[in-house]
Each structure stands twice: as structure tokens, then as C-alpha cells.
Chains A and B, each alone.
Chain A
């Protein structure tokens, strides 16, 4: 074999890269399973999730009242609660037993019990209680009940205090009841919406998981179709580690750059989720994320024997990754060992960075930690992908030689 000139090697390498790219793309569109994961799932899933969480908050949580007091004050309290956005009084019952029955029949999710001495205690200058029983089947309902009742009781309390103070000016009364005022500002997700909080994380996770599944399927098919049950076809063009890794990655990157624009830009816009970030910065951030996902997937699938096992191996991890990423469960409360575990996956940094940029309007400067981490992952998994690929070439070479012996 004559030594090729360096120029020729580069030229051939680039050509082969493009051939691998083209081949891979053809495989992607021909395999129904891959199309499902690369195209259909990323298109459909976010729509479904947005539809599920469309209402954002639990409005008008149904509540039943047991008014044992039956006075003007207690009726006022009930009226004030009913008037809020969060609570709807669906019924009044004479006693606790009937109210509980309504809970069990799922007609209401909470009971407000006003004791018979409610007004009496207020008049006597004693502390008066409203008793809340909440069904714990939905935390959102519980939160609605608790905050509303607390708000109404504070409001009423202030009113009572002011009326009690005889002989002072209105201003004096107000100052005496609340010497320090407070103001609450909610940043980034002002309506406490569920979709605004969860969907951005889910979008990033969808990118990683569908890409992983799609690449796993592609590799599985390649192995199934191959005479030697190997990952690589026996062809002239598949004779170089970098050519294969670059060619394949280009194909996946091409598909996912389109998918990402849809997922990360169109979906938040269609469903009017928070979208504060600068588009170009997000683009700059997503590039290392996509790259690390591609190489991560190429590395992992080297260890998967057949196409079907990848479903069992990867799908169930989605939930674990979502929780480990520190969105639903605050990152500050994730134990260190799970935190280090989560650093293995691109989704962890992708989710954190994307939420900070998209929802909280951070720039690349504020997410530099995640940004650098993603580039490090890209590098490490690139080495991993090359090693896996190299190993495959050596193995198929050996088998080929054994065949021809």
C-alpha cells in the first residue's frame, strides 16, 4: 500500500464524512421508529404536555362549609373566601359527617369549619379559629385553601383591630395594626403557573431523550442488518473514526437544530410561556448542549446490545433525570451523591441553563458554569464516541479477516 499524501487524506476524509452524513440521513428518514423519536415525539409531546397543564393554576378549588356559628361575621368570612379566585364554595352542610361524605364522593376537596363560638370569641377579645380540613390528594388544592383562608383571616383581623381602637384617628389605627407593611413580588413566573415551571425543563429533556432513543434505534438496526451483528457497515467509506463520528453527528445535529428551534422557541411562544431570554444567546447555549447530547448518545449506544433493550434502559431514566436536574426538587436540597450522578448527563446543565436564560432572562455570563460544563461534556463524550467507534472498527476488521482466511 502506497503512502497517501496528507492532502489526499484530508480530501478523502471530508468526502467520506459527507457520504456518512448522507447515508445516515437516509437511514433516519427510512426507519419509522427513528422518525417517531426524531420528529413525531418532539413535535407532539410538548403540545400534549402544554394541553395537560394548560390551566396553569388550580382555580376555584371546590370547598364545603360547615357554619356552626351562623352569625354575620361568619357569613362575611365565607363570602370573602368565595369571592377569591382560588376557592369556590360548593355547598353548606349541617355537620362534619355530611361534609366528609362530600369529600369522599369527590364533590369537594376541603372543608371549612367555623366553630359555634367564632363570633363570640371575637367580641370577647379572644383568639378565634377557623378550622380547615384538606384532602391531600392534590397539593395544589391544599395550597389554594391554605393561602386563601390565611389571607382572608389576616384581612378580617386587621379590620377587627381597627374597629376596636376607639378614640384614635384612622391613620393611627392603621399604623398600630401594621407598623411595617410588606410587599411580595414574584419574579419570572408571576401567576405561579405549573406549565411555566415544568414545561421548559421537559422541553430540554425531550431533546436529550428522543435523540438518545433515535440514535439507539439507528445503531440497533445497523447491527441487526449487519452480517456480523456489528455497528458499522463493511464499506470503504466507513474506514476512519473521525469520519464516522463527524458524519453521523452532522446528520443528528442537522435534524435537531430544526427540532430545537421548534421546541425551544416556537412552543413557548405558542403557549405564551415565559420567554425572556435573548434568542441568540440561547442559540449559543444550545449548541454545546446538542453536541454533548449527540456524543453522549453515540457513546452510550456502544454498550447496548440490541435495539429493543434501549427502550427498557433509557425511558424510565427520564423521570429520574428530571428530578435530579434540580427543577421540581430544588437543587439546593438534592444530596451531593445524586448531584454528582446528575452531572453525568447533559440534560442537567441543559435544563438549568435553559430555565435561567429563557424563564429568568439570564445572559451567557450568568450561566457560564453550565455553559463551560456542557463544553467539557462535549469534549469528554466526543472522546468516548471516538473510542466506541474505534473499537467497532477494530472488531469488524478482525471478523472480516477471519472470514477471508
Chain B
């Protein structure tokens, strides 16, 4: 009875269609197309080549050939390049001094410099890698010529130049792909925002439209049954949409998922339930819809930052480390790392599932108050 009533009201309001289905799918589309291949390509840089010799031109050519670097402008002087950087046209400047070739031949150890704009952190750190590599390699190429001139073989020379190397293995995300890294958390995070707001909206509309007593009558004055039945159609839609999102992420996009799809679905479902429970709790505490909606929006937006996917929680202040535990998204994130990236089993992840299920008990604290509100509260605009 209540379920069909709720389903009918969901169907009659376009807002539900928007928030439950269109907005999350739009978000998914946005982030997947934005990040495309996972790493930004062809980031523009400026080159100031004061030497303009064979050696310097070769270095610049090699630099341009890197996938993430594109030499956008060759500027005649440094101040022009610097202005381009301030205008945001280029993210870095590669500076080659005069007499580079001559100084190399004369063993005077000339110095090339690169200037990075780190107010764009991702662009800055990606370019750092390329620019440093080219600086070391450029040097190495010259050194190689030195050594082959002395009668060493090329292979010998290469080994001598870099006797110790680092061999990197990335556990779980072998491509160090930003799309994998960001999409898997941001998309559920945005859905988390929408779920919290829509749940409170649904509860509040009963008061605003003065239909709360109908809900209680239908549930024979049992608030728990009423609440459960009211939320059930919502939950089913959320489950369907988040299943679709997970299938898109892990099956269609083939993002790493070492645990298989099922544990990730379990994780997502738990996130949906925990967010709903938390919203009911919030509404019970603050039964004035606009206030609880404001609170929910502030909390759900912060939860994206405090879940620790951009900046590790272990580097935050101790108080925040403790607080991060009261956000469902934080546990969702930890489960995602352990399951999808590290492929760990339930033995390592049970405590996060436990934490998420604890959120489900939150509504019980406010259920009596909620009933009271539904019986006696008069909506004041």
C-alpha cells in the first residue's frame, strides 16, 4: 500500500527522475569523458632556447615527443614565457642557456633549468616527471658520447650512467591512471549527495503537503513499518542505478576490480543504505526540511574531501582522523581500495562492513521523535 503510494508520488514528480537517475548518469558521463584516457595528454609548455644549437634543438625535439608534453611556444626571452605562464597558457618553462653546446664540449657543466607552475598540481607533477627525465637524459646522451669516445660500448655506457634504477610495481592500479583513481570515488560520492538530499526531501514533503497522517494511518500507526515501506521504492531505484554505474565502471570501462564485481556491488549497496539511514537520522534531529537539507548538503559535500581519496586521512589532524569514521563514504572508499584495488577478502574488510551496518541502526534513535513530529507538527513555510 505505502509502497505503491510512494512509487506513485515518485513518478509524479520530475525531481525524483532527475535526482535518482538523470543526475548520477550525467555525472558518470561527465567524469568518464572528462578524464578520457586517464592521463592528461599534451600539456602545453614554453621553451626558451637561447643556445639554438644542434644539441639544444635535439633536446627540445625529444621533449616534444613525450606523450604528456607539448611544446606550445618557442619564446625569444624569458619574460615573455613567464607572462604566458601567468596567463595560464603554459604550465612550465624549459630554459636552455646560451652556449650550451660550447660549454658541454669544453666540459664547463652548463645548467638547463625548468620552471613549473604548481598552482595546477596535477599538471605540475606530470610535467615535472617529463622535464626531469629529459634533463637527465639530455645529460646522459652527451655523457654517452663522452664514454663511447673513450672506447666503451654503448651498453656499458648506459649501465655506468645509471647504476641503480627503480623498478616500480603499482599494486592494483597498474597504469597509475587518474580516471581509475578519481571516477570510482567521485561518482558514488556525488550519488551519495543526491541520495541524502532526496531522502530528506521525501520525508519532508509529507509534512509540507500535510500528508503525514495518511502515511501513519496506512501503516496502522506503526512508524517503523511506515518508514520502511516509504523508503523501499527509493532503495530499489538507487540499487538499480548504482548497479548500472558499477557495471559501467568495472565491466564496460574495465577499471581494475581484483575482487570481482559482486563485492563492489555489496559495497555500493551498503553505501546507499547507510546514506539513507543517516538522512533519516538527520531529519529526525532537525525536522524542519530546509534546515535538515542544508545540513545534509554540507555534510555530504565535505564527506568527499574527508574520505581521504584526494589527501590521505592519515596526514590529517588527529581529530579529523576520528571524525572521518562517521562518514559512510569513508568506509566505502576503504572497502573500494581493499576490494577492487588490493583484491582482499572478507577477513580484511569485515570491520568496514560492520561500520557501514552500524549506520543502519541510526534511524532507531529518532523513530519515536519522527512519529511525534509526523503526528503533531504543523508545517511552517
List residues of A whose CB falls within 8 A of some B CB. 32-33, 36-37, 41, 45, 48-49, 51-55, 57-59, 77, 103-105, 122, 125-143, 146, 149-150, 153-154, 156-157, 160-161, 164, 172, 174-190, 192, 194, 196-198, 200, 213, 217, 221, 224-225, 274, 307-309, 311-313, 315-316, 318-320, 323-324, 327-335, 337-338, 352, 355-356, 359-362, 366-367, 369
Contact = CB atoms under 8 A, between A and B. Distances in A.
B159 A127 contact: yes
B109 A180 contact: yes
A367 B348 CA distance: 51
3 interchain residue pairs of minimum CB distance: A333-B40, A182-B135, A189-B118
Nearest to B194: A316
A176 B119 contact: no
Contacts of A51: 317, 320
Contacts of A132: 166-169
A207 to B, nearest CB: 15
Given A59-B315, A182-B112, A360 B119 contact: yes
7 contacts: A52-B320, A183-B112, A184-B114, A186-B118, A197-B118, A225-B381, A332-B44
B301 to A, nearest CB: 6
Nearest to B256: A136
Interface string B115-138: 111111111110010011001101
B306 A366 contact: no
A329 B341 contact: no
A333 B41 contact: yes
A360 B142 CA distance: 36
A174 to B, nearest CB: 7
A54 B316 contact: yes
Contacts of A49: 305
A292 B135 CA distance: 45
Contacts of B110: 180-181
A164 B163 CA distance: 11
A136 B344 CA distance: 14
A181 B111 contact: yes
B351 to A, nearest CB: 11
A139 B312 CA distance: 9
Contact of A157 (B164, B169, B176): B164
Nearest to A45: B298
Interface of B: 15, 18-19, 23, 27, 30-31, 33-36, 40-44, 83, 85-88, 91, 100, 104, 107, 109-125, 128, 131-132, 135-136, 138-139, 142-143, 146-147, 156, 158-173, 176, 178, 181, 186, 189-190, 193-194, 197-198, 201, 204-205, 208, 288-291, 293-294, 296-298, 300-302, 304-306, 308-312, 315-317, 320, 337-338, 341-342, 344, 348, 381
A56 B300 CA distance: 23
Contacts of A189: 118-119, 121, 124
A105 B337 CA distance: 12
Contact of A185 (B115, B139, B159): B115
B100 A176 contact: no
Main SS of chain A's interface residues?
helix
Contacts of A164: 160
B311 A188 contact: no
Contacts of B121: 189, 192, 194, 197-198, 328
A41 B298 contact: yes
B34 A138 contact: no
A308 B204 contact: yes
B86 A361 contact: yes
Contacts of A157: 161-164
Contacts of A360: 85-86, 117, 119
A382 B83 CA distance: 33
B194 A312 contact: yes
Contacts of A156: 163-164
A319 B190 contact: yes
B166 A130 contact: yes
A38 to B, nearest CB: 11
Nearest to B96: A180
A192 B31 contact: no
Contact of B143 (A105, A179, A315, A355): A179
Nearest to A188: B119
Given A187-B118, A197-B120, A366-B87, A182 B100 contact: no
A154 B135 CA distance: 13
Given A154-B136, A225-B381, A141 B113 contact: no
B113 to A, nearest CB: 4
Nearest to A317: B23
B49 to A, nearest CB: 14
B304 A311 contact: no
A184 B113 contact: yes
Q: Which of B91, B121, B310, B344 has the most C-beta atoms of chain A within 10 angstroms of its own C-beta?
A: B121
Nearest to A73: B164
